Amino acid sequence: MRIQAPSRSRLLRIVVIRQCAKVVLAVFLGGIAGAALARYSAGFGIDEREMDARRSSASIETIRHSRSEGADFAVFCFGFLRGMAHGELGYSTTLNRPVADLIRERIAVTVAEICEGLALAIVASSVLAGLTAMRISRVLGAVSELVASVSLCVPVAILGYLCLLLRVAPFWAVAACTFPHLFRYTANLLDLADRKNHVIAARARGVSRFRLHTMHRLLPCVPELLATLSLVVSIAFGSTIPIEFATETPGLGQLAWQAASSRDLALLCVLTMFTAALVLSASGVAEVSRVWYFGERGAE
Partner 1 sequence: MNLSKSLASLLLTLGLCVSLRAESVLRFCIRSEPRTLHPLLVDDDASETIRYLTGGVLVRLNRKTQECEPALASSWRVAANGRQIDFVLRQRVRFSDGSPFGPPDVAYTIQQLMSPELHSPTADSFRTGPGDVHTEQTGPDSIRVTFPQPVAGLAALFDQVPMMSSRSPMKEKAVLGPYIIEDRKAGSFILLHRNPNYWERDASGHQLPHIDTIRLEIQQSRDSEALRMRRGDIDFVSNLDPDLFDHLVAEKKSDLTVNDLGASLDSELIWFNQTSTSHLPASKRAWFTDANFRRAVSIAIDRDEICRIVYRGHATPAAGPVSPSNHAWYNSHLDAQKSSIEVAKKLLASGGFREADGKLLDRSGNPVEFSLISNSGNRNHERMLAIIQQDLQKLGIHLNVVTLDFASLIERITRTYDYEACLMSLTNVGIDPNEQMNVWLSSAGNHQWNPNQKTPATPWEARIDQLMTQQAAASNPAVRKKLFDEVQMIVQEQHPFIYLVHPDVLAAYSKKVHNVNPALLRPQLYWNVDKQEITE
Partner 2 sequence: MTKLTRRLAAAWLLVALLVVVGAGQLAPHSYDRIFSESPDAQPSKDHLLGTDAVSRDRFSRLIHGTRISLGFAPLGAFLATLVAGCIGALSGLSKPWVDRTLMFSCELFISLPWMFLLISARSLMPLNTTPVASVAITFLLLGLLGWAGPARIVRARTREWLNSDQYLFARSLGISRRRAFLIHLPPVLKPVLLAQFWIAIPVFILGEANLSLVGLGVSDPLPSWGALLRDMNRPEALLETPWIITPLLVLVATLIAVQTVLRTTRSQT
Residue ranges in contact with partner 2 by CB under 8 A: 22, 25-26, 29-30, 33-34, 37-38, 40-43, 149-150, 152-158, 161-162, 164-165, 234, 242, 245-246, 256-257, 260, 268, 271-272, 275-276, 278-280, 283, 300
Q: What CA–CA distance (Å, rounded) separates 290 from 294?
A: 6
In angstroms, give the least distance from the CB of 259 to partner 1.
Answer: 12
Q: What CA–CA distance (Å, rounded) separates 10 from 235?
A: 31
Q: What CA–CA distance (Å, rounded) separates 115 from 232?
A: 11
Which of partner 2, partner 1, none does 22 bind, CB closer than 5 to 8 A by kind? Answer: partner 2
Q: What CA–CA distance (Å, rounded) separates 39 from 28?
A: 17
In angstroms, give the least distance from the CB of 34 to partner 2.
Answer: 5
Residues forming beta bridges with residue 92, ordered by sequence position: 97
Q: What CA–CA distance (Å, rounded) separates 216 from 204?
A: 13
60 binds partner 1 (CB under 8 A): yes
Which of partner 2, partner 1, none does 197 bind, CB closer than 5 to 8 A by kind? Answer: none
Which of 62, 137, 149, 208 contacts partner 1 by CB under 8 A?
62
Task: Considering only residues 92 through 111, tell me which ones interact with partner 1, judged by CB under 8 A.
Answer: 94-96, 102, 105-106
51 binds partner 1 (CB under 8 A): yes
In angstroms, give the least distance from the CB of 39 to partner 1.
Answer: 13
Which of partner 2, partner 1, none does 30 bind, CB closer than 5 to 8 A by kind? Answer: partner 2
In angstroms, give the least distance from the CB of 200 to partner 2.
Answer: 22
Nearest Cα residue to 236 out of 111, 124, 71, 57? 111
Which of partner 2, partner 1, none does 3 bind, CB closer than 5 to 8 A by kind? Answer: none
Tell me which H or E stretch contains 98: strand 97-98
Task: Considering only residues 234 through 253, tell me which ones interact with partner 1, judged by CB under 8 A.
Answer: 248, 250-251
Yes or no: say if 176 and 119 are a contact pair by the CB < 8 Å rule: no
Which of 4, 9, 57, 197 contacts partner 1 by CB under 8 A?
57
Q: Alpha helix locations (H) across 218-264?
A: 222-247, 252-261
**Total of residues contacting partner 1 (CB under 8 A):** 33
Residues forming beta bridges with residue 123, ordered by sequence position: none
Yes or no: say if 225 and 293 are a contact pair by the CB < 8 Å rule: no
Q: What CA–CA distance (Å, rounded) separates 50 from 71?
A: 18
Yes or no: say if 248 and 300 are a contact pair by the CB < 8 Å rule: no
Residues that bind partner 1 (CB under 8 A): 42-44, 46-57, 59-60, 62, 94-96, 102, 105-106, 164, 248, 250-251, 254-255, 261-263
